[in-house]
Amino acid sequence: MNRKFKKFTAIICITISVLLLFIAIMIPLSNIIIGTGFKGGTVDDLLNSKSDITASIKNEYKGKFDVRIVLTKEKNLGSVNIRQKILNDKFNAKYGTTVGGTCSEVATTLLIKKFGRQKEKTYQYTFDTVMDIAIKSNLWTSNGTKGSDIDKLVTKSFQGTGSSRWGNNDYVGIYNTLANDIDNGYTTILSCIGHSMHAVGYIHYTVKYKTQILWLKIESTTIKKYVIVNDGWQDASTDVENKQYSYYPEESFVFPDFVLTKVKG
């Protein structure tokens, strides 16, 4: 083998090695999705339908190739979505007390109706009971109920309606804890910044896509997870029997100020 051929072979080998190193470095970087549009754990992160979920995913993976989105898992224990304003207005009319910021009380009402001893009562009756307990126990203000007090609200509300169950707050591992509770048949209260929601299930979408590095197209797969909630706002109906659900993305849970309130006992 002459010297020129050896030199040429060495250059080719070095070039291939550099390209392989570049690809090895760039593949993980290429799979990082930048700019998901989440609003720091607020209600702005709520998606109001499954079509909103797929639209959000498509926007998130814009620029990737051959994006495929498939719903692969869903568990929903079911609940009605009762409208916060309607409950407030009827409470105001009955007691002459103006209340607002009652999302924690609305979510607690749904827990009581599902796991307590007032299943035969109307949602308004149970809400009025929970609201009365919250006011008398100083667990409600015009700005709402503090996240750290929601477990106390749930506990006192179960006790005040004849049940021995109680509430327990969690601040870390929220999604896994919530999903485990759903698997065990328990809905929970999920609270983000400024709002509490009745969490009734979870849903997974498998996303497959390709990223092009030089002449190569690398296929990747990821799972997008969402909590199914009754938010007390979106499409909640006047007859308080609308089973409308919204969806909260797991990615938002990296932000602070989340509280998960579980039913115990």
On whether the CB atoms of residues 53 and 47 are closer than 8 A, the answer is yes
Q: State pLDDT tens for residues 180-207.
A: 999 999 999 999 988 999 999 999 999 9
Residue 14 lies in a domain: no
On whether the CB atoms of residues 50 and 247 are closer than 8 A, the answer is yes
Residue 12 lies in a domain: no
Least confident of 15-19, 65-69, 98-102, 233-237: 15-19
Average pLDDT over residues 5-19: 53
Number of domains making up the chain? 1
Domain of residue 241 covers 31-264
* pLDDT tier, 221 (very low <50, low <70, confident <90, very high otherwise): very high
- Could you tell me which of 165, 172, 205, 203 has the C-alpha nearest to residue 186? 165
Residue 214 lies in a domain: yes
pLDDT at 153: 98
Return the bridge partners of 223, or none: 206
Q: State pLDDT tens for residues 21-49.
A: 444 444 333 333 334 556 678 888 999 99
Question: When comparing pLDDT for 157 and 1, which is higher?
Answer: 157
Q: State pLDDT tens for residues 224-239.
A: 999 999 998 865 554 5
* Encoded amino acid at 24, one letter: A
Q: Kindly report the backbone phi and psi dihedral angles of residue 216, in degrees, each rounded to the nearest multiple of 5, phi listed first.
A: -95, 145
Residue 16 lies in a domain: no
* pLDDT tier, 240 (very low <50, low <70, confident <90, very high otherwise): low
CA distances from 108 to 164, 189, 190 (A): 15, 7, 11
Residue 7 lies in a domain: no
> Is the confidence at residue 90, as pLDDT, over 90?
yes
Residue 5 lies in a domain: no
The structure's pTM equals 0.84
Long-range contacts: 116-123, Cβ < 8 Å, 24+? 116/157, 116/158, 116/161, 116/162, 116/163, 116/165, 117/161, 117/162, 117/163, 118/161, 123/80, 123/82, 123/87, 123/240
pLDDT at 253: 87
- How far is 66 from 125, CA to CA, in rounded Å? 52
CATH number of the domain within which 85 lies = 3.90.70
Residue 144 lies in a domain: yes
Residue 26 lies in a domain: no
- Could you tell me which of 145, 106, 152 has the C-alpha nearest to residue 129? 106
